[in-house]
Chain A
Amino acid sequence: MQDAVVSPEKTEEAKLKARYPHLGTKPGGSDLLRKRLQKGQKYFDSGDYNMAKAKMKNKQLPTAAAEKTEITGDHIPTPQDLPQRKQSLVASKLAV
């Protein structure tokens, strides 16, 4: 009988809601799924990029963050800013 005893799962849920009161009402719903579908997406709007290039003649745009980790928000990324994906030339250590 589980009437008096709160299930461990519900206890954990209460803990989570206490830490994140604004957690969505739709658990595991669209938000989580859409985040999963967008894996690998880099923020890059070509319309903004071209307009920014045109404007750059007149004024400077905010430069890329020194870290170049996450390119989102106000910064307009350029192809040079995107982290270079090096092609893997090193052999696997399993093959030693």
Chain B
Amino acid sequence: VNAPRGGVGGGNDFQWCFSQVKGAIDEDVAEADIISTVEFNCSGELLATGDKGGRVVIFQREQESKNRLLSRGEYNVYSTFQSHEPEFDYLKSLEIEEKINKIRWLPQQNAAHFLLSANDKTIKLWKISERDKRAEGYNLKDEDGRLRDQFRITTLRVPVLMPMDLMVEASPRRIFANAHTYHINSISVNSDYETYLSADDLRINLWHLEITDRSFNIVDIKPANMEELTEVITAAECHPHQCNVFVYSSSKGTIRLCDTRAAALCDRHSKFFEEPEDPSSRSFFSEIISSISDVKFSHSGRYMMTRDYLSVKVWDLNMENRPVETYQVHEYLRSKLCSLYENDCIFDKFECCWNGSDSAIMTGSYNNFFRMFDRNTRRDITLEASRENSKPRAMLKPRKVCTGGKRKKDEISVDSLDFNKKILHTAWHPKENVIAVAATNNLYIFQDKIN
């Protein structure tokens, strides 16, 4: 069987190529270096990563130069800062990890860039701004900053702005703390550009970006008796256009769509999305693998996509009783669930993302494989993030997992997959075919081949 010539996400001659890889080649990966979130900003000019050590690194795309016609601009380091620090809550005897769970960019409204970063308990609004001029010729202090002797000043001068080497500064503008008893899994900026939501295992809060000492609780699923706990919130997102609509997913594989115009506390959903399950096929693993690890609205706002352990599903917001599309990510793992439960891999939380035109979706898998599905052609492809195939503009070869019987050349058998190499976080440029894939402590950037 020949691999399809056309790649996924574009026209017929589409091929994904290696562009860049960031990070160390160490054999021993330090825990702090593990990338925990990846996000392009609204224009795609900036790409942010967060890691388990609480650090944020922002890359900026260089302007396309005339010399390099065959490739798009590369992403270079623009700014890096320590967003969150480890904390210990002595009152509750709770260790608070500095790991960045999510980064979300605000739409750009002036020269500065703003992003929200969240660890388990606290959300911070960061301002990233450039400084490329400084004033010289002050009257009261000299160039070193030392105060001039006032009696020696005989004339007044007007300070002039002189160019200086570009400096990119990151400063925390707001700290939204003390609103989550449980661990924050999602943040989402609302389309009104004034508010955002944050979700933990049992509650969702609505914040105003300017106000840090108050937030509104809009969803609370904590039972009166914790013994009766049956499900938790796993992800939440604001609708891209309707500022009164948001969705949240659960560990039972359901999605609830809520309308903040209906009530102050959105415990009662407006819509409830669940795929019916065949009761005879139910097993010990059913609920665990149905747990939704990510939910993302399409850019159009008509659809949403959910990721559970083995598949990605696309839902039409107008149809609650089943998804309109289901894509198998790694169905061959269904016969490995026992060992995946024992090594905890069954609890891995994979994310998913849409391309800019909503025609393709992408999600990660094991062995540093990631998968892309073209919704129009129904073609899918498996690619690998590996330094072995990291020459500039090298084309990525499709990968295939052999599920049994004869293993063909270039195929890999299920038992040879490295389950420590997980691709949990991926991001697609909002407008172009450029993708960022986080492979443990390395960040890969791939782009389409320009014909």
Where the two chains meet, the residues of A that have a C-beta atom closer than 8 Å to any C-beta of B are: 2, 7-13, 15-17, 19, 23, 27-30, 32-34, 36-37, 39-44, 79, 82, 85-96
| Chain A residues whose C-beta falls within 8 Å of the C-beta of B443 in the assembled complex | 94
| Chain A residues whose C-beta falls within 8 Å of the C-beta of B285 in the assembled complex | 9, 12-13, 27
Which residue from B95, B120, B183, B232 sits with its C-beta under 8 Å from A33?
B232
| Chain A residues whose C-beta falls within 8 Å of the C-beta of B338 in the assembled complex | 12-13, 15-16, 19
**With contacts A10-B281, A85-B95 known, what are 4 further pairs, Cβ within 8 A?**
A12-B336, A42-B94, A88-B54, A93-B33
B139 in the interface, Cβ–Cβ < 8 Å?
no
**A-B pairs with lowest CB-CB distance, top 8:** A28-B287, A8-B335, A85-B86, A44-B93, A95-B80, A12-B337, A15-B338, A12-B338
Contact A9 B283 (CB under 8 A): yes
| Chain A residues whose C-beta falls within 8 Å of the C-beta of B231 in the assembled complex | 33
Which residue from B77, B80, B183, B229 sits with its C-beta under 8 Å from A34?
B229
Given contacts A12-B337, A42-B95, contact A95 B283 (CB under 8 A): no
Query: Which residue of chain A has the shortest Cβ distance to B58 in the bound complex?
Result: A95
B193 in the interface, Cβ–Cβ < 8 Å?
no
| Chain B residues whose C-beta falls within 8 Å of the C-beta of A27 in the assembled complex | 283-288
B75 to chain A, nearest CB (A): 11
| Chain A residues whose C-beta falls within 8 Å of the C-beta of B32 in the assembled complex | 88, 90
B251 in the interface, Cβ–Cβ < 8 Å?
yes
B24 in the interface, Cβ–Cβ < 8 Å?
yes
Kindly state the separation between the CA atoms of A9 and B287 in the bound complex, as whole angstroms: 12
Central interface residue in A12, A15, A30, by most chain B CB within 10 Å: A12
A25 to chain B, nearest CB (A): 10
B88 in the interface, Cβ–Cβ < 8 Å?
yes
Contact A92 B97 (CB under 8 A): no
Contact A40 B96 (CB under 8 A): yes
B49 in the interface, Cβ–Cβ < 8 Å?
yes
| Chain B residues whose C-beta falls within 8 Å of the C-beta of A94 in the assembled complex | 22-23, 33, 35, 49, 51, 57, 77, 80, 443
Kindly state the separation between the CA atoms of A34 and B232 in the bound complex, as whole angstroms: 10
Residues of chain B from 394 to 438 with CB closer than 8 A to chain A in the complex: none
User: 1/0 per position for B262-294, CB-CB distance to A under 8 A?
Assistant: 000000000000000000010111111001000
Kindly state the separation between the CA atoms of A92 and B54 in the bound complex, as whole angstroms: 10
Given contacts A41-B93, A85-B86, contact A30 B229 (CB under 8 A): yes
Interface CB pairs A-B, < 8 A, 21: A9-B286, A10-B283, A11-B335, A13-B284, A16-B338, A19-B338, A27-B287, A28-B284, A28-B288, A33-B251, A34-B226, A36-B201, A41-B92, A41-B93, A42-B95, A43-B93, A44-B93, A85-B87, A93-B441, A94-B77, A95-B57
B126 to chain A, nearest CB (A): 15
B230 in the interface, Cβ–Cβ < 8 Å?
yes
Kindly state the separation between the CA atoms of A41 and B335 in the bound complex, as whole angstroms: 34
Query: Which residue of chain B has the shortest Cβ distance to A8 in the bound complex?
Result: B335
Central interface residue in A9, A19, A90, by most chain B CB within 10 Å: A9
